[in-house]
Structure formats: C-alpha cells, structure tokens
Chains A and B, each alone.
Chain A
C-alpha cells in the first residue's frame, strides 16, 4: 500500500516563502527552493506551494521559481494559486511541477477540470476545496487567500467533490476552514464522510496542532495525506518526530 503522506504547505509571494502575521502583513521566511530542500531533508513526502496573492488579485503564476524548485527537489510537489487555464497548468508542469491544484477557477468553470485531465492526465489535477459548516451542511467557500475576500460558493461540499472527481480530478484536498488556524485537529467527521464518497485519493487540510491530530485523521478518516503549514513552519511539530510517533502508533509512514 502507500505510506500516509505528510505534506507541508508553503505560501509563496514573488518566489519567496512568506508567513502571515497578524497586523503586520507578511514576513519573509526565505527562498522557496531552499526551504523546500530543508523540508525534503526532514522527511516531507510532498510539498505544496501556494501563490497566496494570485487568485484574489486576478494575478497569474510566475513560473521561474517553479523551475528553481524542480531543479533542486527530488520529491513530488504541487503548485497552487492563480491557475485558470489549461495552458497555465501545462506551463507549470513544463517547468517541473508534478501536480497543479485549482480551487476557485474550478468552481467558476467546472469544465476546466476535465480539460486539464484530458490534456495532462488526471494524476496531476488536484482540486482544492475550502469547506465550512453552515446551516446544517458542509458548504464550499471561495477565495480563501485573503480572509476578507472569502465567501460562500453556493455548493454543497459533498456534492462538489464527487462532481470534481467525475470531471477528472485525480486528488481532492479538502480544507476544513472552521478548523483552519485553530489547531484543534482535523475535521474528522467531514473528512471521513468525504472519504466514503470518493474513490480518488483525499488529502486533509486545516486544523493540525499536535502529532495526535495526524494519527486521528489517518486512522479515523482514512485519508491518504495530511497537509499542514504553521505547525511545521513554527517548528511546533518536527517532521522526523511526527513520523516516529506515527510509526509507533502503527500508521505506515516513509522513514
């Protein structure tokens, strides 16, 4: 079978990794390729680079830094943010990315998923979904790059992920935004429900704060991977220790 994947997510602005700090905007954390190599050395199974400014401002991706990362990195990585056309996705892969993740552009024009899958293969098409519990249902939200620009997208999460799979998505990243930044654990109920409905791999996002949260999401929601950002960037959770813990708990990880 496959090892459960541990996936750090890095926010990138102009080829630099940045961290959002309350009242201060973004703080520069370093060169994207250098930080990527550091996570690789710690045992990350895959990396996601998210261009944080792309979607809300209508900007598109700059691909130079993608190539810098691809030259250096020998583990898979996914690029997200600002990809709105098949050509942009293809260019991203041409620069060495393994997968591209689309979120709000897929909501605006779901056919984009099928167009990307037909040309590039579904294995590199990741659909990211931001979901929150509202009026008794999990509902899709849009534009989460900037919290002020986030709004309901008028779709039910469980219906949308199945539709995205049917259109050609190769993987779903379900970001549970009620949990995001709260660090009280992944949304196990929602992720387990999503897992039951999908046949493609599912990656959990939002809420990781302790090593136990990773065990819970793998054991109870049966997800293929768990994505996290701040707990890794702050050093609150170190990947080698996390993997040792998961291994002791009987969760298969790549060590």
Chain B
C-alpha cells in the first residue's frame, strides 16, 4: 500500500482529495510541516482559489523551498498544477501585476477570457487529448472526460501531457522531471480520475 503526503495549507479541497486516495487504499498523511515534506515518499499539492493567497500560505508555513527541492514524485492538483509554473496573472490586489509561483516549470498562467458560448470559469466535463506517453496516462484514452473548474490556464508547452479544448488549449496534465500536474480534479473525475491517482501512487518513489 502506497503512502502519500497531502499538503494541507489552508488553500485546498484537502478532504475530497484525501477521500479519493483512501478509496484507492492509500495511506494519506496530511501535513503543513516542512520536515514532513523532506521525508515524504510522494507528495500531492492540492489547491483551489487564488494563486497569490496560496503562495502566501506556502510562504508563511516555510513550505516553498522544501517543495522546490523535493526530488520524489510530486503531483499538483488544480491550482496545485498552476503553482508549479513561474508566475500567474492572478492576484488579489492586482497592483504588482501577478503572483510569483514555485517556478518549477517555465511560463506564466493567464486568465481565461469569457467569449460567446464560453463562460469563465471553465467549469464542467471536457475531453482529454493526450500529447505523449507517460506513466500517469497509463489506461487513459483520447476522448476520456475530466471535470475542470478553473478561471486561469497554464501555458501550453513541452510540459503538456494531455490537453482539453476550451476555445484555448488547456494543459490538462503536465510533467517536468519528477513533477506532475492535473488541472482538472481527479478526485471528481470518476473512473478516469481514479486511474490517474492510482498511476501516481504506483510511480517508483
């Protein structure tokens, strides 16, 4: 049985991610202690809400450097995926023009602008198209549905593993070295989401 450390930093839907992992039989440790990050076998960084607020929380808890230097499998979920990138256009006071993020994948997270027949936030089930092979995509087929809720979108680039079409290309899953991201909510994406979490739990740590 895999053990997974879930970062509970006051900016995430920690409960639903925890329940999804428990449904897969994982042992889940929820922590906001930097020492636990250093020792973890694998880490999931959840997150909902504003990027600037999430980074403030990580900073206040001294979690930024431990997450940056973590070398075993790390999965960012929803806002957690966005936090892997360099910067975000999203900021509560907007005076400094955005928030600095963890800087583990190059690029800037931008707003999804509403357009006719394209409300923002992007909320609902969209189909995935895979871009390249990856252990996290084991058993995932093109056209599988995933549940998204987000108003900001990561830059599409070489890190994109799977994308969804929402008028703009939405990097739905990303990977760079030992870090993965899921823009959609695997804990709320039925069988597809369970498969991806199971694949993550089975990555060699």
Partner of B16, one of A2, A5, A98, A120: A98
CB-nearest residue of chain A relative to B119?
Answer: A201
- Interchain CB contact under 8 A, B122 and A74: no
Question: For A3, what are the chain B residues with a Cβ–Cβ distance below 8 Å?
Answer: 124-126, 145
Other than the given A3-B125, A76-B149, 12 more pairs (CB < 8 A) read: A1-B167, A2-B126, A3-B124, A3-B126, A70-B15, A74-B187, A76-B147, A96-B16, A123-B121, A123-B151, A200-B114, A200-B121
Question: For B188, what are the chain A residues with a Cβ–Cβ distance below 8 Å?
Answer: 74-76, 98
Chain A residues proximal to chain B, CB less than 8 Å: 1-3, 5, 40, 45, 67, 70-71, 74-76, 93-96, 98, 118-124, 170-171, 198-202, 222, 224-225, 254
Question: For A93, what are the chain B residues with a Cβ–Cβ distance below 8 Å?
Answer: 13, 15
Question: For A118, what are the chain B residues with a Cβ–Cβ distance below 8 Å?
Answer: 50, 92
A74 nearest CB across to chain B (Å): 5
CA A96 to CA B17, docked complex, whole Å: 8
CB-nearest residue of chain A relative to B189?
Answer: A74
CA A171 to CA B122, docked complex, whole Å: 10
Residue pairs across A and B with Cβ atoms less than 8 A apart, 17 shown, are A1-B165, A2-B122, A2-B126, A5-B125, A67-B15, A70-B16, A74-B189, A76-B149, A95-B15, A98-B13, A98-B149, A123-B48, A123-B49, A123-B121, A199-B114, A200-B119, A200-B120
- Interchain CB contact under 8 A, B123 and A74: no
- Interchain CB contact under 8 A, B50 and A75: no
Q: Is the interface of A mostly helix, strand, loop or mixed?
A: loop
- Interchain CB contact under 8 A, A170 and B23: no
Interface residues as binary, B174-205 with A (CB distance below 8 Å gives 1, 0 otherwise): 00000000000101111101100000000000
Chain B interface extent, by class? 35 or more
Most buried by B among A75, A94, A123, A202: A123
Question: For B124, what are the chain A residues with a Cβ–Cβ distance below 8 Å?
Answer: 2-3, 5, 45, 201, 224-225
- Interchain CB contact under 8 A, B23 and A74: yes
CB-nearest residue of chain A relative to B120?
Answer: A199
Q: Which 3 A/B pairs are nearest by Cβ-Cβ distance? A: A121-B49, A2-B124, A199-B114
A52 nearest CB across to chain B (Å): 24
- Interchain CB contact under 8 A, B48 and A2: no
Question: For A202, what are the chain B residues with a Cβ–Cβ distance below 8 Å?
Answer: 119
B91 nearest CB across to chain A (Å): 12
Asked, given contacts A2-B124, A123-B150, A170-B123, whether A96 binds B19 with beta carbons under 8 Å apart, the answer is yes
Question: For B118, what are the chain A residues with a Cβ–Cβ distance below 8 Å?
Answer: 1
Question: For B28, what are the chain A residues with a Cβ–Cβ distance below 8 Å?
Answer: none
A36 nearest CB across to chain B (Å): 13
Asked, given contacts A121-B49, A124-B48, whether A75 binds B121 with beta carbons under 8 Å apart, the answer is no
Question: For A171, what are the chain B residues with a Cβ–Cβ distance below 8 Å?
Answer: 123
Question: For B79, what are the chain A residues with a Cβ–Cβ distance below 8 Å?
Answer: 121
Question: For B149, what are the chain A residues with a Cβ–Cβ distance below 8 Å?
Answer: 76, 98, 123-124, 170
CB-nearest residue of chain B relative to A200?
Answer: B119
- Interchain CB contact under 8 A, B48 and A75: no
B48 nearest CB across to chain A (Å): 5
Question: For A201, what are the chain B residues with a Cβ–Cβ distance below 8 Å?
Answer: 119, 121, 123-124
B20 nearest CB across to chain A (Å): 7
Interface residues as binary, B32-43 with A (CB distance below 8 Å gives 1, 0 otherwise): 000000000000
- Interchain CB contact under 8 A, B120 and A2: no
CA A182 to CA B115, docked complex, whole Å: 34
Partner of A75, one of B19, B126, B147: B147
